[in-house]
Amino acid sequence: MPFHLSDARLTPPRVRSRDPEFYPMRYDSLKEFIARLDAEGELVRVRESVSPVLEIAEIADRVSKQPGGGRALLFENVEGSAFPVLINAFGSRRRTNLGLGDVERIARDIERYLKLPPPAGWVDKLKLLPMLFEAAHFPPRFIHGRAPCQEVVLEGDAVDLGRLPILQCWPKDAGRFITFPIVINRSADGRLRNIGLYRMQVFDKRTTAMHWHIHKDGAHFFHDYKRQNKTMEVAVAIGADPAVCYAASAPLPYGIDEFLLAGFIRKAPVSLVKCLTVDLEVPANAEIVLEGTIDPGELRTEGPFGDHTGYYSQDGDYPVFHVRAITHRRNAIYHTTLVGKPPQEDLYLGKATERIFLPLMRTQLPEIADMNMPAEGVFHNLLLISLEKRYPMQARRLMSALWGLGQMSFVKTIVAVDDTVDVQDVAAVARRVLSTVRPKRDLFFSEGVLDVLNHASDQALYGSKLGIDATAKIPGEPGHGEGPPAPPGPLPTAGAVQARFGELAGCRFLEVESSPPVLFASIDKIRPGQGRDFLNAFFAAPEFSSISVCIVIDLPVDLSDTSLLLWKFLNNLDPRRDLALHGERLGIDVTRKTAEEGYTQHWPEEIEMDAGTRARVDANWDKFYPEKIIS
């Protein structure tokens, strides 16, 4: 049976709310946000005893994959700990808006400040006063004395990370990981503060890893300390108000204080208090705070870890965080998140970033109309962008510029369309690409840095990138005045293809209305070059000449699940290596690569929960997530 692009989960629908409930949101603590979620019917309280080892993750994974992201979960009876666990708090459009306010409004506010004209006279200056008054509330404010996050203080032998309900998320994780830590540090010269989300593997009751990637600001600061052989002080807040939680994840330009962004979102300052054992400030109303140091000369193997790509990230050497003190609120709540095959909670935080940072991108690239990073691309594998096109090759210029712009530099594939195409409608973009793009003319390759978690390239950290120019051709461009490609002849059935090639485990057409279909074929790869050899034979067979695009992918893969199929395709693609033209037809080999094929990295395993955990959760599902709560 054929299947359609509309069957995929892809990106969730946009919410363009003008509801006053989303304008603006201000919470002074995580508990206030939880109370709002509870009042809005967006929270499920799980009172059944549950293990932090795999069980919470399995429950959260199932809930996050429900339509719209399910509900937030508060586990009130966690084995081995007195702290409740909150997860999936931001795991829907509505909950993100409840936490931050309407993200479209935040984007408009940013644009309002960016486009502020210089005052021409005293009347214009008077008009600026309300905005200046508002901006005075953005920077953080400092409080003296003990704060709520310091109601309980544990130092010395009392420090024990084992008291916290830290999760093991996936069966092949190296251990338990703190997955939503708001990590706070300062540059070696003391001038800049950095707040980021960097996972932390627990080694023992007083030490963890600090997993900051080579491209992140935390790693830049660390290497400055290492050059100067200075000990680095670090504080970690777990569970803060929603604006601070989000700001820690935001891709701000180097040197911009994330607490300032949180204040901008809240329209109120973040209250900070000085730590007790290190010279850093933390959110005064945080639930839990870890204080400690990192010796720049000490590294330890961290990982593997089931990551947001849906694969296990490889182990590696990372700095060691030594905990001096744990402080927390009375009756504190442990806030965490789960990452894995999409969709997960990080999708909705990422979509908020997409909307909030669009005005900032337009300051450098004003022709941008809109953008979309679909869930299946896990943010760094696929960007859909629309532009107001005014001159030849502008789309290629835009894509090249994006590959040099901040975290956009990690994006592997960019598809550019005219502003008449809604990039939030993925099927519409696919129709445009399949109906108008001619591979020799409209595909081009670049190369550059890639995300640390990209496993597809032959070497780590850099590789090839693909640009697809699906804009209408204008005077001066190749293809202007040409008609659309000739329609293909009668299509064979997928069964006919599979019967012709006995090595295929399965094949299906991905159909997009009014566009040529794409054939996906799966094989059980047993030798180097097998995917390429199949494509050569396929395109040489005259009975299949009406199929213009064929993609071969290896097992395990469920060809009936469009979303997971596209997720695997985008993860495993190295554009320059894997795309091959056969005349005007295109073959793409996204099977796993081997050393014999020039591959030098470690091809990771896909994340899957173990059967025992699934069975335990199945047996207690009505207690964990009562059917009557599901709407």
Nearest-angstrom CA–CA distance, 193 and 186 = 4
Single out the residue of 314, 123, 309, 69 nearest to residue 211, CA to CA: 314
Q: Which two tokens stand for residue 620?
A: 């207690």
Q: Can you tell me whether residue 313 is helix, strand or coil?
A: strand
Q: Around Cβ 407, how many Cβ atoms within 10 Å? A: 15
Q: Can you tell me whether residue 294 is helix, strand or coil?
A: strand
What are the phi and psi torsion angles at 215 (to 5°)? Answer: -85, -5
Single out the residue of 91, 100, 169 nearest to residue 346, CA to CA: 91
Q: Can you tell me whether residue 304 is helix, strand or coil?
A: coil
Alpha helices (H) in 403-548, listed in sequence order: 426-436, 439-442, 494-500, 530-540
Amino acid at 78: V
Residue pair 172/313 in contact (Cβ under 8 Å)? The answer is no
Q: Can you tell me whether residue 630 is helix, strand or coil?
A: coil
Place of tokens 């032998």: 157
Nearest-angstrom CA–CA distance, 359 and 112 = 9
Nearest-angstrom CA–CA distance, 538 and 500 = 9
Nearest-angstrom CA–CA distance, 456 and 604 = 10
Supply the DSSP symbol for 625.
Answer: S
Length of the chain: 631
3-state secondary structure 166-224: CEECCCCCCCCEECCCEEEEECCCCCCEEEEECCEEECCCCEEECCCCCCCHHHHHHHH
Q: Which two tokens stand for residue 587?
A: 């073959």
Give Rg (Cα) of the chain.
25
Sheet hosting strand 413-418, strand order edge to edge: 368-372, 383-387, 413-418, 462-469, 443-449
Nearest-angstrom CA–CA distance, 233 and 13 = 42
Q: Can you tell me whether residue 234 is helix, strand or coil?
A: strand
Place of tokens 């009668």: 490
Nearest-angstrom CA–CA distance, 308 and 384 = 20
Q: Which two tokens stand for residue 163?
A: 């008291």
Active-site entry in 173, 257, 307, 574: 307
Q: Around Cβ 484, how many Cβ atoms within 10 Å? A: 8
Q: Which residues pair with 316 in a beta bridge?
A: 302
Residue pair 291/260 in contact (Cβ under 8 Å)? The answer is no
Supply the DSSP symbol for 606.
Answer: B
Active-site residue, 317 included? no
Nearest-angstrom CA–CA distance, 423 and 415 = 10
What are the phi and psi torsion angles at 122 (to 5°)? Answer: -70, -25
Q: Which two tokens stand for residue 152?
A: 């309980």
Q: Which two tokens stand for residue 509?
A: 């057409």
Q: Can you tell me whether residue 245 is helix, strand or coil?
A: helix
Distance of alpha carbon 66 from the chain centroid:
18
Amino acid at 245: C
Active site residues: 307
